[in-house]
Protein backbone atom coordinates (compact mmCIF):
# COMPACT_ATOMS: atom_id res chain seq x y z
CA UNK A 1 0.00 0.00 0.00
CA UNK A 2 1.23 3.46 -0.92
CA UNK A 3 2.13 5.51 2.17
CA UNK A 4 2.70 9.20 2.85
CA UNK A 5 6.43 8.50 3.04
CA UNK A 6 6.39 6.95 -0.45
CA UNK A 7 4.65 10.07 -1.73
CA UNK A 8 7.08 12.41 0.04
CA UNK A 9 10.12 10.70 -1.43
CA UNK A 10 8.78 10.45 -4.99
CA UNK A 11 11.03 12.55 -7.22
CA UNK A 12 8.32 13.48 -9.72
CA UNK A 13 6.03 14.78 -6.95
CA UNK A 14 8.88 16.63 -5.30
CA UNK A 15 9.89 18.35 -8.52
CA UNK A 16 6.36 19.46 -9.45
CA UNK A 17 5.63 20.77 -5.97
CA UNK A 18 8.83 22.80 -5.87
CA UNK A 19 8.26 24.21 -9.36
CA UNK A 20 4.62 25.05 -8.56
CA UNK A 21 5.74 27.04 -5.53
CA UNK A 22 8.27 28.95 -7.66
CA UNK A 23 5.57 29.84 -10.20
CA UNK A 24 3.23 31.11 -7.50
CA UNK A 25 6.08 33.13 -6.01
CA UNK A 26 6.61 34.83 -9.33
CA UNK A 27 2.93 35.83 -9.26
CA UNK A 28 3.30 37.28 -5.75
CA UNK A 29 1.26 34.57 -3.99
CA UNK A 30 1.84 33.39 -0.44
CA UNK A 31 3.96 30.30 0.25
CA UNK A 32 2.61 27.01 -1.11
CA UNK A 33 5.68 24.82 -0.62
CA UNK A 34 6.25 21.53 1.14
CA UNK A 35 5.79 23.48 4.41
CA UNK A 36 2.13 24.17 3.55
CA UNK A 37 1.74 20.65 2.10
CA UNK A 38 3.12 19.01 5.25
CA UNK A 39 1.01 21.11 7.60
CA UNK A 40 -2.20 20.43 5.66
CA UNK A 41 -1.30 16.73 5.47
CA UNK A 42 -0.81 16.58 9.24
CA UNK A 43 -3.97 18.51 10.12
CA UNK A 44 -6.21 16.60 7.69
CA UNK A 45 -5.02 13.24 9.01
CA UNK A 46 -5.21 14.39 12.65
CA UNK A 47 -8.85 15.41 12.18
CA UNK A 48 -9.84 11.94 10.95
CA UNK A 49 -7.65 10.19 13.52
CA UNK A 50 -9.16 12.15 16.42
CA UNK A 51 -12.65 11.44 15.18
CA UNK A 52 -11.90 7.71 15.15
CA UNK A 53 -11.73 6.94 11.42
CA UNK A 54 -9.79 3.91 10.14
CA UNK A 55 -6.01 3.95 9.93
CA UNK A 56 -6.06 3.73 6.15
CA UNK A 57 -8.50 6.64 5.81
CA UNK A 58 -6.20 8.65 8.06
CA UNK A 59 -3.25 7.80 5.77
CA UNK A 60 -5.22 8.69 2.63
CA UNK A 61 -6.11 12.05 4.17
CA UNK A 62 -2.40 12.59 4.85
CA UNK A 63 -1.58 11.81 1.20
CA UNK A 64 -4.38 14.00 -0.19
CA UNK A 65 -3.28 16.82 2.12
CA UNK A 66 0.29 16.55 0.95
CA UNK A 67 -0.64 16.53 -2.75
CA UNK A 68 -3.57 18.95 -2.77
CA UNK A 69 -1.75 21.94 -4.33
CA UNK A 70 0.41 20.01 -6.81
CA UNK A 71 -1.70 21.36 -9.69
CA UNK A 72 -0.01 24.74 -9.26
CA UNK A 73 2.75 23.31 -11.44
CA UNK A 74 0.33 23.61 -14.37
CA UNK A 75 -1.48 26.83 -13.43
CA UNK A 76 -2.94 28.53 -10.38
CA UNK A 77 -6.25 28.66 -12.20
CA UNK A 78 -8.21 25.46 -11.46
CA UNK A 79 -5.16 23.93 -9.75
CA UNK A 80 -7.56 21.65 -7.86
CA UNK A 81 -8.67 20.06 -11.12
CA UNK A 82 -5.26 19.68 -12.71
CA UNK A 83 -3.85 18.48 -9.39
CA UNK A 84 -6.51 15.80 -9.13
CA UNK A 85 -5.88 14.46 -12.63
CA UNK A 86 -2.11 14.66 -12.20
CA UNK A 87 -2.29 12.81 -8.87
CA UNK A 88 -4.40 10.06 -10.40
CA UNK A 89 -1.69 9.28 -12.94
CA UNK A 90 1.18 9.49 -10.47
CA UNK A 91 -0.53 7.39 -7.78
CA UNK A 92 -1.45 4.80 -10.41
CA UNK A 93 2.21 4.64 -11.45
CA UNK A 94 3.06 4.10 -7.78
CA UNK A 95 0.67 1.14 -7.65
CA UNK A 96 -2.15 2.56 -5.54
CA UNK A 97 -5.51 0.83 -5.74
CA UNK A 98 -8.14 2.48 -7.92
CA UNK A 99 -10.70 2.95 -5.15
CA UNK A 100 -8.11 4.82 -3.06
CA UNK A 101 -7.01 6.92 -6.04
CA UNK A 102 -10.65 7.90 -6.58
CA UNK A 103 -10.97 9.14 -2.99
CA UNK A 104 -7.81 11.22 -3.18
CA UNK A 105 -8.63 12.67 -6.60
CA UNK A 106 -12.07 13.81 -5.45
CA UNK A 107 -10.62 15.38 -2.31
CA UNK A 108 -8.00 17.32 -4.28
CA UNK A 109 -10.54 18.30 -6.93
CA UNK A 110 -12.85 19.70 -4.24
CA UNK A 111 -10.49 21.78 -2.11
CA UNK A 112 -10.79 25.10 -3.93
CA UNK A 113 -13.14 27.62 -2.36
CA UNK A 114 -14.88 28.58 -5.60
CA UNK A 115 -16.64 25.25 -5.95
CA UNK A 116 -15.23 22.66 -3.51
CA UNK A 117 -17.66 20.32 -1.75
CA UNK A 118 -17.06 17.84 1.09
CA UNK A 119 -17.90 14.80 -1.05
CA UNK A 120 -16.31 12.25 1.32
CA UNK A 121 -14.51 12.15 4.69
CA UNK A 122 -11.11 12.80 3.16
CA UNK A 123 -12.36 15.78 1.13
CA UNK A 124 -14.03 17.21 4.25
CA UNK A 125 -10.87 16.90 6.35
CA UNK A 126 -8.76 18.40 3.56
CA UNK A 127 -11.01 21.46 3.23
CA UNK A 128 -10.76 22.27 6.94
CA UNK A 129 -7.00 21.66 7.05
CA UNK A 130 -6.23 23.76 3.98
CA UNK A 131 -8.39 26.71 4.90
CA UNK A 132 -6.99 26.89 8.42
CA UNK A 133 -3.35 27.35 7.42
CA UNK A 134 -3.05 31.09 7.89
CA UNK A 135 0.31 32.18 9.15
CA UNK A 136 2.93 34.89 9.12
CA UNK A 137 5.49 32.44 7.73
CA UNK A 138 3.52 32.19 4.49
CA UNK A 139 4.08 35.84 3.51
CA UNK A 140 6.92 36.21 1.01
CA UNK A 141 6.67 39.95 0.52
CA UNK A 142 9.32 41.58 2.70
CA UNK A 143 8.03 45.15 2.38
CA UNK A 144 5.18 45.89 4.71
CA UNK A 145 4.22 49.09 2.88
CA UNK A 146 3.36 47.08 -0.21
CA UNK A 147 1.38 44.32 1.58
CA UNK A 148 -1.95 43.42 0.02
CA UNK A 149 -4.86 42.18 2.15
CA UNK A 150 -3.73 38.52 1.89
CA UNK A 151 -0.23 39.43 3.04
CA UNK A 152 -1.66 41.52 5.89
CA UNK A 153 -4.04 38.86 7.14
CA UNK A 154 -1.44 36.12 6.96
CA UNK A 155 1.22 38.32 8.55
CA UNK A 156 -1.11 39.29 11.38
CA UNK A 157 -1.91 35.64 12.16
CA UNK A 158 0.48 34.68 14.93
CA UNK A 159 -1.20 31.37 15.64
CA UNK A 160 -3.72 29.20 13.84
CA UNK A 161 -4.61 25.83 15.32
CA UNK A 162 -7.25 23.19 14.73
CA UNK A 163 -8.55 21.36 17.79
CA UNK A 164 -10.86 18.38 17.58
CA UNK A 165 -13.19 18.47 20.58
CA UNK A 166 -14.41 14.91 20.58
CA UNK A 167 -16.86 15.18 23.48
CA UNK A 168 -18.47 18.30 22.07
CA UNK A 169 -18.40 16.80 18.57
CA UNK A 170 -16.76 19.96 17.32
CA UNK A 171 -13.81 21.06 15.23
CA UNK A 172 -12.44 24.32 16.49
CA UNK A 173 -10.22 26.76 14.61
CA UNK A 174 -8.33 28.89 17.09
CA UNK A 175 -6.60 31.95 15.65
CA UNK A 176 -4.56 34.69 17.21
CA UNK A 177 -4.54 37.88 15.15
CA UNK A 178 -2.39 40.87 15.89
CA UNK A 179 -5.00 43.61 15.48
CA UNK A 180 -2.35 46.31 15.16
CA UNK A 181 -1.42 44.78 11.82
CA UNK A 182 -4.85 43.82 10.60
CA UNK A 183 -8.33 44.41 12.01
CA UNK A 184 -10.40 41.25 12.54
CA UNK A 185 -12.75 42.67 9.91
CA UNK A 186 -10.12 42.21 7.19
CA UNK A 187 -9.75 38.60 8.22
CA UNK A 188 -13.44 38.12 7.60
CA UNK A 189 -13.28 39.89 4.28
CA UNK A 190 -11.02 37.13 3.03
CA UNK A 191 -12.12 34.21 5.14
CA UNK A 192 -15.90 34.39 5.24
CA UNK A 193 -16.31 32.06 2.27
CA UNK A 194 -13.65 29.74 3.63
CA UNK A 195 -15.31 29.61 7.04
CA UNK A 196 -18.64 28.71 5.46
CA UNK A 197 -16.88 25.96 3.56
CA UNK A 198 -15.30 24.69 6.79
CA UNK A 199 -18.71 24.65 8.46
CA UNK A 200 -20.12 22.51 5.69
CA UNK A 201 -17.11 20.19 5.81
CA UNK A 202 -17.37 19.83 9.59
CA UNK A 203 -21.07 19.00 9.25
CA UNK A 204 -20.17 16.24 6.79
CA UNK A 205 -18.02 14.72 9.56
CA UNK A 206 -20.98 15.03 11.96
CA UNK A 207 -19.32 17.80 13.91
CA UNK A 208 -19.86 21.50 14.45
CA UNK A 209 -17.33 24.05 13.28
CA UNK A 210 -16.25 26.61 15.85
CA UNK A 211 -14.19 29.72 15.24
CA UNK A 212 -12.27 31.41 18.03
CA UNK A 213 -10.34 34.60 17.30
CA UNK A 214 -8.25 36.19 20.05
CA UNK A 215 -10.05 34.05 22.64
CA UNK A 216 -13.50 35.23 21.54
CA UNK A 217 -15.83 32.59 20.22
CA UNK A 218 -17.26 33.99 16.97
CA UNK A 219 -18.89 30.91 15.52
FE1 LIG B 1 -5.15 25.06 -3.25
FE1 LIG C 1 -3.51 24.77 -0.10
Q: How far is the CA of 37 from the centre of ligand 2 (A)?
A: 7
Mean pLDDT of the chain: 94
Per DSSP, the three-state class of 181 is coil
Q: How far apart are CA 104 and CA 204, in angstroms?
A: 17
Residue 54: band (very low, low, confident or very high) from pLDDT cuts 50, 70, 90: very high
Q: Which of residues 98 and 143 earns the better pLDDT score?
A: 98
Q: How far is the CA of 69 from the centre of ligand 2 (A)?
A: 5
The answer on pLDDT for 90 being more than 90 is yes
CB 208 within 8 A of CB 168: yes
CB 62 within 8 A of CB 75: no
pTM above 0.85, yes or no: yes
Domain extent at residue 144: 4-217
How many CB atoms sit inside 10 A of residue 36's CB? Answer: 22
Q: What is the pLDDT of residue 219?
A: 85
Q: Which ligand is nearest to the CA of 76?
A: 1
Q: What is the pLDDT of residue 11?
A: 98
Residue 29: band (very low, low, confident or very high) from pLDDT cuts 50, 70, 90: confident
Residue 15: band (very low, low, confident or very high) from pLDDT cuts 50, 70, 90: very high
What CATH number does residue 189 fall under? 1.10.3210.10
Q: How far is the CA of 165 from the centre of ligand 2 (A)?
A: 24
Q: How far is the CA of 130 from the centre of ligand 2 (A)?
A: 5
Q: Which of residues 136 and 122 earns the better pLDDT score?
A: 122
Using CA atoms of 19, 119, 212, 160 in order, give the dihedral in degrees to the nearest 10.
-20
Per residue in 183-206, pLDDT tens? 888 888 888 889 999 999 999 999
Using CA atoms of 124, 158, 25, 78 in order, give the dihedral in degrees to the nearest 10.
20
The total domain count for the chain is 1
Amino acid sequence: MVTLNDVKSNLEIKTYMEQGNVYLGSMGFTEHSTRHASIVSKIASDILKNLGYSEREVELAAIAGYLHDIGNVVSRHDHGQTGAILSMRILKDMGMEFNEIALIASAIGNHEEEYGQPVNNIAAALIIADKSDVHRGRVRNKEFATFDIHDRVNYAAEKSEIHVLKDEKAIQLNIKINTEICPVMEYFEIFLVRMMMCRKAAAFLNTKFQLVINDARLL
